[in-house]
Amino acid sequence: MFELIDSHAHIDEIEDIGSVIKDAKKNNIAAIIAVGTSFISNQKIMHLSEEYRNYVYPALGLFPWNIADEDFRDNMQFIRDNIKQAVGMGEIGLDYSKGIKERASKETQKSIFRELLKVAKDNNKPALIHSRYSWHDCLNICRELQIDKAVFHWYTGPLDILNQIIKSGYYISASPAAEYHEDHRKAIMAAPSDRLLLETDTPVTYCRGTELEYEARPSDVLRTLNAVAKLKNEDKAVIANVILKNTREFFNLY
Ligand SMILES: [Zn+2]
């Protein structure tokens, strides 16, 4: 048997958390990285990480679309005050889809992203990056600020930018969309296994609009592993061990 870590989970959005954690443990999920997105979400994440100590590890963040929230500055302060107890900074990043740009302009998003990355760097924490339609800017800003550790979560961008991500020493993570999403599948095939993490992005709904539709939970990281092993034509146990090692190093979890 092998162990897996869900490197990106919005468990603050799950109601029956006790049974979800129990189920994850039963499925050999060794740890869950809980990612925050707002002031309220970050507070919940910190509570959950205390309740499930040494199993749920907190990352603190700010979704690009929450920049327009009233309590956004309180969130920035909360992140600064609590980042030392977290294993990472995220979910942070840029989102250039139309609806989001209407809430927060590209320039506003970039300046907040820089501010957060500096806090991550000063505290020696890895960055968990949301880069929808903004892959190039996210990468450039990470390089400009000389960020050491970053993961481009659920990467679906172009392969030339992926190559630069890898060359810069960064990672990408695979989600359960590895079963069917073509751009995501291409990226996973192109990325070396030692630069891959696994995730579920729970409670995201996958296979939407089909009879296979389901809402992911951390134990579905097994689905991600199966899809990745198939795409890479590698033995599941072998790849699971490589990725477990990557993930422990990335988050400094031992
Ligand atoms: Zn997410």
Residue 28: give its domain's CATH number: 3.20.20.140
Q: How many domains does the chain have?
A: 1
User: What is the tens place of the pLDDT at every residue in 100-124?
Assistant: 998 999 999 999 999 999 999 999 9
How many residues are given for the chain?
254
Q: pTM of the predicted model, to two decimals?
A: 0.97
Residues facing residue 56 across a β-bridge: 32
User: What is the tens place of the pLDDT at every residue in 133-172?
Assistant: 999 999 999 999 999 999 999 999 999 999 999 999 999 9
> What is the whole-number distance in angstroms between the Cα of residue 131 and the centre of ligand 1?
11
> What is the whole-number distance in angstroms between the Cα of residue 197 and the centre of ligand 1?
14
> What is the whole-number distance in angstroms between the Cα of residue 239 and the centre of ligand 1?
23
Ion ligand 1: residues, CB < 5 A: 91, 201
> What is the whole-number distance in angstroms between the Cα of residue 144 and the centre of ligand 1?
24
> What is the whole-number distance in angstroms between the Cα of residue 42 and the centre of ligand 1?
13
Give residue 74's domain range.
Answer: 4-251
The whole-number average pLDDT for the span 40-56 is 98
